[in-house]
Amino acid sequence: MEPKDLDPEVLELASKIFDLARTGDAATLGAYLDAGVPVNLTNENGDTLLMLAAYYAHPDAVNVLLEHKADPNFGNDKGQTPLSGAVFKGEDAIVAALLASGADPNAGSPSARDAAEMFGQTKYLSLFDS
């Protein structure tokens, strides 16, 4: 189903939920998840809520999503994972939370391991091997 075929109210709600992840409103995001919003919902780019929360550096939102069983290895349409985004941004707390939830540092393209090497975030490499 194409977005143009969806009810405008559904699209507006989905946009609001993605904005919650992007801006880090963990409490409201958690309430929507508790009400039944799919935790691995994706936008038009294949970004999940977790991907946006990780990339925009919101550890509380990341934790809420992980508590609701968001898939830490779900890549977007470009093959990027939440872990590679967190590594790129140098977000230690988010990297740790994703790894604790089973994020694979070798998943995606570029992988988090590749991102650490490319962007000089080599401090993460030892975490990936432990």
pLDDT at residue 3 greater than cutoff 60: no
Q: Domain residues of the chain, as ranges?
A: 3-128
List the Cα angle 82/26/6 in 5-degree steps. Answer: 75
Ramachandran category for residue 47: left, alpha or beta (phi over 0 → left; psi -120 to 50 → alpha): beta
Three-state DSSP string of 64-109:
HHHHCCCCCCCCCCCCCCHHHHHHHHCCHHHHHHHHHCCCCCCCEC
Q: Which fold has domain 3-128?
A: 1.25.40
* Under 8 Å between Cβ of 94 and 54: yes
Residues 68-104 pLDDT 10s = 999 999 999 999 999 999 999 999 999 999 999 999 9
- Tell me the pLDDT tens digit for each residue of 11-35: 888 999 999 999 999 999 999 999 9
Which residue has better confidence, 114 or 8? Answer: 114
